[in-house]
Every structure is written in structure tokens, then in C-alpha cells.
Structure 1
Amino acid sequence: MDDFPIDKIQISGASLASLLHRASSAVGDSHGYLFGHAAVSTSNPLSDHPTSAAPTSLLITTITSFLSLPSHLPLPPPPPSSSTCLLGWFSARRKTPLRPSLKDSAASLSLSSSPLLAITPQNSSLSLSPSIFLLITTPFHDQLIHTHEYKAFQFRGGSFDPKSLSIVNIGPSFRSQYDSFSPNLQLPMMNSDLRGPNAMVEDEIDESLAGKRDQLRNQKQLDLCAEGFEIGRVSKLMSSEAAYTAEMEDLYDKMLAKIDTLSKLVEHSNAKVLDQENRNMRLRSRVAGLE
């Protein structure tokens, strides 16, 4: 299988933080699979000069999720997934040098040499094997701030090629990288038409009973994903680039607020369940005469 060099490896800040937290909270060393997607991006410089640089194609891989298990257990067969592809694997261990071992080389060779696991990046006809390896370690001496070290590699030609790992977050500084991610949770289907030039007719339709009923139903569906985002603002996502970016960032904030609300509800319900279990334990002890 041909080995194509990866030009850029990306990972979201939330995914990297979750991976580091999983590594630090585990009882021992851990390893697992890395999932995401790959695409070939062509940069075309806008210039009228006859000697301008030719368009260049970059192979970019984006890590969006992972599967972790203890290192003493062997890696299971990669699970099938329709939304993400297997990009490689990772190994998280404590107080070891930040360089791959012979065991890592054998595991990467076995994973990258399987033709059944090869993927086809978007906008290309290439065949890319799951050759990414992410190594996570901890410093030899315990520190309060610097708690983890990590380094990304691509396994090519029987050796590890070091690669830089770009962390992508949301915000004004990362707007050019928004197209690197595809949502795992899609918004519900809503019957929402854009306003056309005949605004007076549309106003009459909106004021009708059926229009208000549809708008209320769409708002309830949207509230399941984003808390406090009005249904009328969805049309702005189809407008100019500046308005689209502002509305998209606000929608993202509302979705985070919804997740935070659900997390608090789960936390409160877990506290109630734990309190009820403690009461049941005291009642059983009282009936058994242990108190």
C-alpha cells in the first residue's frame, strides 16, 4: 500500500482535553483508536501576476473522537462507523520517554498494512491507511502545571515521521478552520422558508394559524439542541459571511448552554439516586439489626 505523507494533523481542543483527561484518570497506561476524517485541500493564491505560485494540494487529517481501553488489553477490531473513519491509534503511558517503542512500531505496522482499513480522503482518489500515532506521556518528575507531553507521528516506510499537531478551537481566530469539522449531531428538520422579495405575502402567511403552529413546533425542536436561540434567526445562517459567522458562534454558545443544563440535571439526579441508595442501605441495616 502506498504511503502518502500527511501535511497536517488537526484535533479540536475539546477532543485533546478529553483524551488527556482520560489518560490521567486511568488507573494505568491506556491505548486506543483515533477517529476522524481526511481531506485534500487545494490552496489557490489569488494573484494576477504571471509568475504567481501554482495551487498546492495539502492532505489534512482531523481527529474528532477516540476509543480508549487499558494497555494490558489488546486492541479490538476497529468498530465500523459511518460518520468517522479510523485514522490511527494512540498510546498514553506515564513517565516514559516521548519516543515510540518497538511495540508501537509493530502495532502501527499491523494497523497500517491492512487494506480493509484504508480510507479515501475527500476531494481525492488517494488511498490513505490509518497511519497516525499519537504518543502521550507524563514528565518523569511530578509537576503542578506541566502535566502531560504529547507528540504526533505518521508511520511511513517502516518508521515514524514526526508531525506537528494543530489544535483547533472555536472563536474569531479559528474561523478559517471551521470547515475542518463535520457535526456528529445534526439539527432537526424544520419547515422554515427564507423570506423572499414578496415580504407582505409572507407576513400574511406567518400571521395565519398554520404558520404560527409550524413556527411553534420548529421552536420546540430547536430548543432540544440550542437553548434560547430563536427560530427566526435561522434564516441569518443563509445570509452574508459576516452574519453567518456571528450567528453560528451564537448558536454554538446556545448549544453549549443546553449541554450544560442537561449536565446539571444529570448531576442532580445522580445525587438524588445516591441519597436514596444510602437511605435504603440504612433501612436494610436497621431491619437486619446492625444498627
Structure 2
Amino acid sequence: MEDDAPFEKIAISGPTLASLIQRSISSPCDIDGLLFGHVTRVTHSSLSDDSPSPSSSELLIPTITSLISSSHTLSFYDPLGRLHLPSLRRLLPPTTAPCTKLLGFFIARRNTPLRPSMREFALSRSLLSQTLTLDPKDPLFSLLSPSSPPSVFLLLSSSPSSLSFHTHEYRAFQLRRISGDPALEPRSLDVINIGPAFHSQYSAFSANSPFPWLPVPTEEGGEGEKGRESSNCMKRVAKEQQQRGLDACSQGFEVGRLSRLMGSDAANYTAEMEDLYGKMLGKLESLARAVEKSSAKILEQENRNIKLRWKVAGSD
């Protein structure tokens, strides 16, 4: 029997991996599910000066783009790792994209090593063998790729720590026939749009949120052309700030007063800034109390509505 071609790597999108990790840690127990995506063919050619006839090889790269997770394990197989086709059909979505194919399955468990168990190996073999013998009229047949049957297995493990953080580990495998015997071989998992290759996209980002211009006050006796220009600038900036409503939020701390915090006299105005922050905290506290009172009124009204519905239902 001819050996299966190995995958060069297994790719997964960043949002899909994040969704998978979030579902695994939010579940109270271990979970499993199905992996969907597409398979890309990559051709590598070996061209050198020594070989007159260049040779080319074709490799497959499965890319995981979506998943379906259950709330527990043994959702589409039995404890012995045998695939249950009716449960698998019930787990599938009603409609999928035409290019979406069933790539394999995943299992997320906790505080366990990243090694496939005997049941997971048996499930990989059962999933591959039973899908290869499906009737073309079966609804599952449209989700299979002729060139790449479902042979991807993704194993996740999470371990909570006492320091309020979690450690997440994952490993990808390919079920591949070697000398006629199937085996789960580890493959590298390439997370798309995360990593050093995409750093240039983030470094090209530039934020656009300029701060208001704060003019430096002129020295005593410096009235003249520069003094009038500085005064005009301060008036213009103060007017702009007033139009944006910033003066109302700062309670009278206009730009002229804030500019005094940018010189040697800044230490003399720290008390004013502390007073400003104190008033802002007071406003936040009064706002929180108002929200609390409104929430209590809403809850009281909901209780009244429930009692009214019970009375109407009882009279009927």
C-alpha cells in the first residue's frame, strides 16, 4: 500500500484558535468537536545547476477556518473510539460554504500531557475509514475533500494556576499511513496573522489623536510682537476648547490655567489639580449612585410586571 503524503504544516486562523481556547476554558468539563476548512496545494520545484531535469513535488496544507464544539466528550463516538455516523450528522451545521470541508476533529482536555490516547487514535482511524466508504448520496459526502480525507487531529490542554492565569498548549497531528500501518504524526501548527511575519503591518499603524496646543507663557516684561502672538494663540485655543465642551468637563480649568503646569511654577498648582480630580471623582460617584437607583427602579418594575402576568394567567 502506498504511503500517504505528509502535510507540510497545518494552518489555523488566529480568531479560530482564540475561539477554540475560549470555549475550552469556559466549559466546566472536557469538550470535543469537528474542524472545517480547506486544503491548499503547494508545488515545490528543485531547480539546480547540477540536475538537468528539475523535479517538482506537491504538498498539501490544510487550513482550519471554523469549528463546531460540543459541551462534552463522546459527542459523535463511543468510549472505544468508534465513530457514530448518526451523531456526527446531527452535529453538523445545516448549511456550510461550498469550499468548506471536514478536516478532522479536536479534543480539549485539562491538566493532561499533549499525547494522543488510544481512544483518540482509534477515533482518528474510524473517522478516516468510515468517511472513505460513504455513499455519494450521503450528506456527509459533500463535506469531504477527495484529495485530503479528514485526517487532522488537534489536541489542546489547559492548566489553571493559583496566580489567576491559565496555561494553554496545543499540538496538531496527521493520521498517515506508513508502510500500510496508520500512525498519528505531529505537525507544526501555523497560526495565521499572528507572529513575526505580520509585525510590519502593526508597525505601519499610526494613531491620530493629537493633544491640544499648550502655549508657554511669556516672561515678565516680554510684551510686544511675541507677547501679542502668544496671547492670540491662547485665545484661539481656548475658544476651540470651549466649542468642544472640554471647559465644561474641566470645571473652569481653561487652557490658560493648564499651561501653568508646564513650567517652574507647576508645583504651586498641584493643589488645584487635586481639587479638580476630587470634583471629577465626586461626579463619578454621584453618577454611579444614579445608575444604582435607576437599576433598582427597573428591577422593581420588572417584579411588578411578573406579578401582573401571574394574576392575568390565574384569572384565565
TM-score by length of 1: 0.54
Aligned partner of 2:110 in structure 1 is: 94
Distance across 1 between alignment mates of 2:296 and 2:175: 51
Contact 1:113 1:129 in 2 (8 A): no
Q: Is the 8 A contact 2:6 2:59 kept in 1?
A: no
Change (3 A) 1:276 1:140: closer
- Per the alignment, residue 234 of structure 2 pairs with none
Deviations 1:87-121 (A, max 9, x none): 0000001111211111111211111112135413x
Q: 2:297, 2:34 → 1: CA distance?
A: 38
Matches within 5 A, 1:55-204: 55-75=56-76, 76-78=87-89, 79=92, 81=96, 82-114=98-130, 115=132, 116=134, 118-120=144-146, 127-139=147-159, 141=161, 144-145=164-165, 147-156=167-176, 157-169=181-193, 173-174=197-198
Asked which structure has the greater CA Rg, the reply is 2
- The whole-number CA distance in structure 2 between the counterparts of 1:134 and 1:38 is 16
* Identity between Structure 1 and Structure 2 (%): 40
Counterpart-to-counterpart distance in 1, 2:68 and 2:155: 15
Amino acid at match of 1:77: L
The amino acid of 1:35's aligned partner reads F
Is the contact between residue 94 and residue 137 of structure 1 (CA under 8 Å) also seen in structure 2?
yes
Aligned equivalents of 1:134, 1:277: Cα separation in 2? 47
List alignment gaps of at least 5 residues for structure 2.
77-86, 135-140, 200-294, 312-316
Superposition RMSD in Å: 3.5
SS of the equivalent of 1:27 reads coil
CA distance in 1, matches of 2:108, 2:198: 28
Residue 278 of structure 1 and its aligned partner are, at CA, apart by 4.3
Q: Which runs of 5+ in 1 are unaligned?
A: 121-126, 176-273
Instruction: Describe the shift of the 1:44–1:281 C-alpha distance in structure 2 as closer, same or farther (beyond 3 A).
Output: same
- Alpha-carbon distance change, 44 to 279 in structure 1, aligned in 2, over 3 angstroms: farther
**One-letter identity of the residue aligned with 1:13:** G
Distance 2:195 2:117 in 1: 38
Residues 48 and 92 (structure 1 numbering): CA distance in 2 closer, same or farther, change over 3 Å? Answer: closer
Q: Give CA-to-partner distance per residue, 1:170-226, whole Å, 9 cap, x none.
A: 799359xxxxxxxxxxxxxxxxxxxxxxxxxxxxxxxxxxxxxxxxxxxxxxxxxxx
Q: CA deviation at 1:281?
A: 2.9
Contact persistence 1:133–1:152 (CA under 8 A): yes
Distance 1:143 1:106, change over 3 A: farther
**Kept in 2: contact 1:4–1:128 (CA 8 A):** no
